[in-house]
A and B are shown apart, each in its own frame.
Chain A
Amino acid sequence: MDPMLESFIQESRENLEAAGHCFLELEKKPGDVELLNDLFRSMHTIKGSSGLFDIPALTRVVHAAEDVLDIVRSGGMELTPEHIDLFLDCMDQVGAWLDDLETSASLPKDAEAKGQASLRSHERFWDIQVHQNRFDL
């Protein structure tokens, strides 16, 4: 296999593992800045490195997660356990795609559709939160 792709798969798996730990810790320490920064960086690194390969679906999903985390980090929104579940599912999708890359050096045909679905679910959470904030006012 292309050594760079191999490196990307390994590095990204490590980042997913780190992110998984951060999410669980965040449930115990909601809003912890250090954890949010680590989490953001894990996603950021996967996204940045994924840009070296022609895997737009993966890049987009990780990019969306990174964007939401950036908003959370700056205090614009809070993470609920349900939203964390959603993140974990996105990460699981990314993990599955890494498995695909390892076996066939490409993403499966349905990657684009699955990526879109995962983006939409992020948006749904975002909408709910925005509406709730409005009612709070």
Chain B
Amino acid sequence: MKKILIVDDAVTVRMYHRQLMESMGFEVTEAENGIEALEKGIGEDFDLFLVDVNMPKKDGYRLVEEMRQVPELQAIPVMMISTEEDDLDKQKAYMAGANFYIVKPAKPDEL
């Protein structure tokens, strides 16, 4: 089974994405912020990170930047997710090292 780490500070949004991802056959782990994501990410073989942009304690951009410096996490695909449909944010996400950028809440067909 494919494993995904959902990183978001909003508990309701995490709940929504967990349901969605589980219905698509993923095994889901959750993290509340960037620091927790790095802790949980290392040592587990995740197939995908779903990362919220706006979070306290290390936002989404910084998390991805740091992931790209860590050998164990370097190659994991990252999907950034934001409430804003903003080209600048999108650019920032790709610059930081994200592979995909989608707008919240994620819809099944986008994934």
Contact = CB atoms under 8 A, between A and B. Distances in A.
Chain A complexes with chain B: yes
Interface of A: 3-4, 7-8, 11, 41, 44-45, 47-49, 51-52
A41 B56 contact: yes
Interface in B1-25: 9-13, 15-16, 19
Contacts of B105: 51-52
Contacts of A3: 15
A7 B15 contact: yes
A52 B13 contact: yes
Given A4-B16, A7-B15, A45 B104 contact: no
B10 A45 contact: yes
Interface residues of B, number: 13
B54 interface: yes
A44 B9 CA distance: 11
A47 B56 CA distance: 16
Interface in B47-103: 54, 56, 83
B104 A8 contact: no
Contacts of B13: 48-49, 52
12 contacts: A4-B16, A7-B11, A11-B12, A41-B9, A47-B83, A48-B10, A48-B13, A48-B104, A49-B12, A51-B83, A51-B105, A52-B16
Contacts of A48: 10, 13, 54, 83, 104
A11 B10 contact: yes
Give the most central of A48, A51, A52: most B CB within 10 Å: A48
Nearest to B52: A48
Which 5 A/B pairs are nearest by Cβ-Cβ distance? A49-B12, A8-B12, A7-B12, A48-B83, A45-B10
A8 B14 CA distance: 11
B80 to A, nearest CB: 14
Contacts of A52: 12-13, 16, 105
